[in-house]
């Protein structure tokens, strides 16, 4: 199919462009980008895109797939469809499935599953013209650092690299610093990203909410900010000693942003990410006791949120991750402190971030798109192409004004664990080209 997108707002962080253009797409490639395109074939599908935004496909650094092991939460197929519906053309799943992705065989199994799903999706395309993306987003797989993500014994790192993992992460705190040091030494020659979630679980204890007056007011066990910052400080010391590049996941406190900014200024080879919900909500939101607000790390104070937003804009925090964490209804219908931590987000992140950060003019459109596309790709050691002729069409078309209701029939993901369930949102992805 050849498509002409007329008068679309092109947001391209690679070329630093935010302008209106006509964009011609044919056979999976961008053929022409110009202020006006009139020389087109008779079979070209013309779309009036006034008011719509076209940007590079979004890239998610890390999220959780229910499959294998927890298909009642999320299948790989529903995960990829939710990602496409949210504007993501590349997604990366953490290894804490069941069984854990700690061997080449498990990596091959997931790659085969994705390939089979893609073949089935192509077959059903003619019957389901509203599928948001064809083919499905590119699936990346994080290999486990330790066997069974238990934090005790290293996996066969080189074998996992040969199997095609995008990088290494347990997705859980790894507190044995001697083991962390050894991992950094072993990974240095392999040239793959490694992502750690610094968190001192002894300081976290049984806490479920950021320490402060709101935790006292709501009667919930607190987690001090130092549970994160002390672990980050230790990680930075190891990076300074060994020199292996490291990605720091799930940054959630103002002090953490300061530590990371100072380390970058000193030349340490680190990148960092926060999650989309930590940019939007603070501890006051927990007043509802909605279990989808039970996150780990917990939502921060208003000053934490302000620091995280400033950190993303300034570059101390490189990327915004989704950390999509599906759970069944039964798992989440518990007391706040007893419910498992996490929430879905693949289909919600772009609309809500745009509404509360771009439309309020706190972020420019380029700043938000960069943190959701080019920067996450760079953290994975990848590149995103500019929106220019002869480049593959890996794109997201977004309507900032389209309204929709968050409910089961409007979501591709199987799980519904989000505090926005039942609410009306503004902003919706129209199409993705993968």
Which residues are identified as catalytic? 323
Angle, helices 254-265 vs 302-314, to 10°: value is 30
Quote the CA–CA distance of 251 and 316 in Å, as a whole number: 11
DSSP for residue 132: S
CB 56 within 8 Å of CB 404: no
Three-point CA angle 270, 272, 273, nearest 5°: 165
| Tokens of residue 298, six digits | 């917990």
3: nearest Cα among 46, 40, 43: 46
H helical segments located in 174-249:
177-187, 201-204, 213-218, 226-242
Which residues face 91 on adjacent strands? 60, 139
Strands 270-275 and 246-248: parallel
CB 182 within 8 Å of CB 153: no
Three-state SS for 23? strand
DSSP assignment string, 304-321: HHHHHHHHHHHTSS-EEE
| Tokens of residue 169, six digits | 């992460």
């Amino acid at each position: 199919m050849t498509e002409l997108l007329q008068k679309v707002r092109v947001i391209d962080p690679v070329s630093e462009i935010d302008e209106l253009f006509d964009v011609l797409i044919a056979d999976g490639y961008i053929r022409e980008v110009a202020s006006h395109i009139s020389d087109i074939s008779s079979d070209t599908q013309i779309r009036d895109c006034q008011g719509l935004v076209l940007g590079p496909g979004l890239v998610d650094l890390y999220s959780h797939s229910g499959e294998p092991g927890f298909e009642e939460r999320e299948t790989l197929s529903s995960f990829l469809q939710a990602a496409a519906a949210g504007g993501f053309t590349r997604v990366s799943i953490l290894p804490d499935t069941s069984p854990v992705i700690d061997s080449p065989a498990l990596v091959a199994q997931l790659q085969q599953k994705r390939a089979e799903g893609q073949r089935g999706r192509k077959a059903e395309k003619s019957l389901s013209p509203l599928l948001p993306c064809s083919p499905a987003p590119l699936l990346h797989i994080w290999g486990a650092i330790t066997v069974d993500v238990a934090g005790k014994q290293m996996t066969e790192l080189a074998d996992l690299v040969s199997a095609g993992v995008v990088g290494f992460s347990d997705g859980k705190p790894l507190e044995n610093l001697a083991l962390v040091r050894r991992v950094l030494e072993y990974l240095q020659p392999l040239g793959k990203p490694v992502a750690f979630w610094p968190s001192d679980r002894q300081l976290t204890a049984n806490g479920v909410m950021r320490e402060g007056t709101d935790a006292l007011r709501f009667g919930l066990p607190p987690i001090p900010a130092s549970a994160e910052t002390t672990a980050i400080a230790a990680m930075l010391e190891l990076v300074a000693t060994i020199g292996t590049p490291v990605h720091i996941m799930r940054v959630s406190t103002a002090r953490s942003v300061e530590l990371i900014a100072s380390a970058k200024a000193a030349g340490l080879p680190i990148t960092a990410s926060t999650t989309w919900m930590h940019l939007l909500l603070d501890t006051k939101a927990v007043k509802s006791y909605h279990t989808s607000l039970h996150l780990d790390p917990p939502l921060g104070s208003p000053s934490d949120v302000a620091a995280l937003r400033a950190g993303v804009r300034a570059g101390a925090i490189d990327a915004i991750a989704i950390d999509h964490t599906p759970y069944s209804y039964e798992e989440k219908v518990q007391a706040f402190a007893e419910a498992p931590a996490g929430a879905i987000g693949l289909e919600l992140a772009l609309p809500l971030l745009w509404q509360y950060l771009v439309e309020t003019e706190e972020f420019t459109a380029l700043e938000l798109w960069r943190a959701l596309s080019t920067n996450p790709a760079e953290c994975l050691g990848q590149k995103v192409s500019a929106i220019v002729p002869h480049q593959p069409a890996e794109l997201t078309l977004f309507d900032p004004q389209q309204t929709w209701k968050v409910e089961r029939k409007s979501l591709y993901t199987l799980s519904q664990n989000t505090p926005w369930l039942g609410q009306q949102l503004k902003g919706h992805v129209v199409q993705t080209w993968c």
